[in-house]
Amino acid sequence: MKSAGIIGMIAGIIFFGIGCDSSSTGGGGGTPTEITGGDVSGIWAADQSPYLIMGDISVPEGDTLKIFAGVEVLFQGYYSLNVAGTLIGNGTFSDSIYFTAADESEGWHGVRFNKAVGDFLYCVIEHGHAWGDNPDGKGGGIYADSSSVWLAHCAIRHCSADTSIYGYGGGLYSNQYVQLEFCEISDNSARIGGGLSCSGVANLAGCRIINNSANDGGGIHGDVFSEVSLNSTYIIGNSAVWGGGGGYFASPYGFIDGIDDAALIRYCQISENSAGQFGGGLMFDWGLAPDLINCTLVDNNSASDGAAVYALTAGLSLVNSIISGNEGNNAIFLMDIGSTVTEISYSDFWENGGGNMMGDGVPDSFGNLEGTNANGDSCDTYLNIFLDPAFDIDNAGAYHLSSISPCIDAGDPVAELDPDGSIADMGAFYFP
């Protein structure tokens, strides 16, 4: 179903935690250092931690601030860390870096990049709040304007963005480039994009997007021109008042200057997300042609159409996936707004309340059992099956396949083989 590297990521990392002790703050073993405000650069080390931030601080253009493992950056009021140069947070597996607030209810104004660079390794960013007009109301934990930000083994949690029209990205907002590897984005909120919002490139691998909320895009929001890629990522328990509980990818103007938004979702589990209207799991707006490959969409719900997926677009590709136990008017809603062919193939549909698929974009003969697949199971002309996937759910909530699952070796035979050399399985997790 996928390469050994991806398999290892999904099996060993997706439910691994972020690799640091994210349950408590650290950095209390040194001599406290007071920073009254102004420009900062150089090195912050654990023996001078916690760093007590008494005003807005800035890393100037051309300068670098490097923070080492064990440091706690403790904001004493609603202040921000503004970066026009380079910020490096170099924590370790056993000794993370914390960016947090002395008063959790007041919070702080987050890390705010402007034409800058940020690298975070084993960092926890929490209790950041973005209030006010544009841009102050965007990016509760991290705001990145025309910047490149990389995070690995990090947590962004308990952050929020404004509830006004400017409130994008409760945990993180980026309009250029952001990459997250093995990170957890949890318990954040915003008007749009509770976990994160991007209008540039966003690559997520081995991440967990959990318990975030918003009006639109409870977990993830992709705006105009965004290119969102989710690999081996676990999206669970996110909610949206309107649409896109797990992820909401918006392109309200469709094709602009020949460029349209893109969303590629591979080897992901999308479960227990909800929407007050459309798209409990995922919602794709005008102009998108998203690809979902080897995904497991289970137990999502919506008050209206598309409990798992709501797509106002042509060209949706859903291959080698499992859609099961979703509750709404239907599991997948497809509107046909163009000539691009929708591909729904080599997937398993089971016990979806309200039906499996509705809309003008549903492929002809979908769901009509007209043949058998390589396993001898009844299938439609697109090699979709309609059988109990027989999950084996582990303690972390991962929907693995049991040994009796009809999804084993039932994927597209021309797709990459499983590591054992067998035909690809359906779903996010292959059966070893």
Longest dimension (CA), the chain: 73
pLDDT at 2 over 50: no
Query: For the residues 197-216, what does the mean pLDDT come to?
Result: 95
Residue 274: left (phi > 0), alpha (psi -120 to 50), or beta? beta
Domain ranges of the chain: 4-338
* Residue 128 in this model has a pLDDT that exceeds 60: yes
Q: What is the pLDDT of residues 15-32, one digit of tens each?
A: 344 555 544 455 556 899
For the whole model, what pTM was predicted? Answer: 0.92
Average of per-residue pLDDT values in the chain = 89
Can you tell me the mean pLDDT for 247-272?
A: 66
Q: How confident is the model at residue 88 (pLDDT cuts 50, 70, 90)?
A: very high
For residues 177 and 190, what is the distance between their CA atoms, to the nearest angstrom? 20
What average pLDDT does range 334-346 have in this prediction?
Answer: 76
Q: Identify the pLDDT of residue 262.
A: 63
Helix or strand or coil: residue 335? coil
Task: Evaluate if residue 135 carries a pLDDT over 90.
Answer: yes
Q: What is the pLDDT of residue 247?
A: 81
- Supply 234's token pair: 């676990």
pLDDT at position 196? 95
At residue 284, the pLDDT reads 85
Least confident of 18-27, 133-142, 325-334: 18-27
Between residues 257 and 168, the one the model is more confident about: 168
